[in-house]
A and B are shown apart, each in its own frame.
Chain A
Amino acid sequence: GENVEQHPSTLSVQEGDSAVIKCTYSDSASNYFPWYKQELGKRPQLIIDIRSNVGEKKDQRIAVTLNKTAKHFSLHITETQPEDSAVYFCAATLPFGNEKLTFGTGTRLTIIP
């Protein structure tokens, strides 16, 4: 089955700097890659996603890039703010009809004021 690896497990960055989290997946048939943000005691929140027919997607300070050949995708957060502190999960899923999300192990991001 699908396997998703996520790095780093923890990341501390100065407020205003950029943060990058990387994930690799094993099944080349996977075609949808969402990112979730989970604050302490709260539900995972979908923050951005990308489909396999797109190489990059951006939403304000957040962007995701996908390299299908290398089977990896990354989350980029620019101009980080204290409220960006949370655990971030990447995930991958196979095409329609087999949409179980396989998650990475999470990255605890801490923004240092």
Chain B
Amino acid sequence: KAGVTQTPRYLIKTRGQQVTLSCSPISGHRSVSWYQQTPGQGLQFLFEYFSETQRNKGNFPGRFSGRQFSNSRSEMNVSTLELGDSALYLCASSLGDQSAYEQYFGPGTRLTVT
């Protein structure tokens, strides 16, 4: 099976712009979670989508949003970018049911805000 894929892999944006990141889960996985990784804050949970619905949400401002499509692919959007949004954004997919909690990560999108 193909692994989790993310596009783009690298992105440079200017403060105030917005950005959309994409994540394609492992075939058959219905849950997609997004995480932000920074040297200072580590790995922090953004939100989780399951069957096109946001099921869980972390403690990030409303500028961070997401959605999931019927094929389980997910997108994450950050509006009005700030310098502090520079980070590696990782998505992870899982089956999304009680039989398996394992989450598998994609390679990430490295976002740099200047």
A residues neighboring B (CB under 8 Å): 32, 34, 36, 42-46, 49, 51, 89, 91, 93, 96-106
Contact = CB atoms under 8 A, between A and B. Distances in A.
A93 B55 CA distance: 14
A43 B42 contact: no
Main secondary structure of the interface of B (DSSP, over half): strand
Query: On chain B, which size bracket covers the interface?
Result: 20 to 34
5 tightest Cβ-Cβ pairs between the two chains A and B: A103-B43, A100-B45, A43-B105, A32-B101, A96-B98
Given A34-B102, A103-B43, A97 B55 contact: yes
B56 A100 contact: yes
A34 B108 contact: no
B48 A100 contact: yes
B45 A101 contact: yes
B31 interface: yes
A51 B58 CA distance: 23
Contact of A34 (B44, B48, B90, B103): B103
Contacts of A105: 42
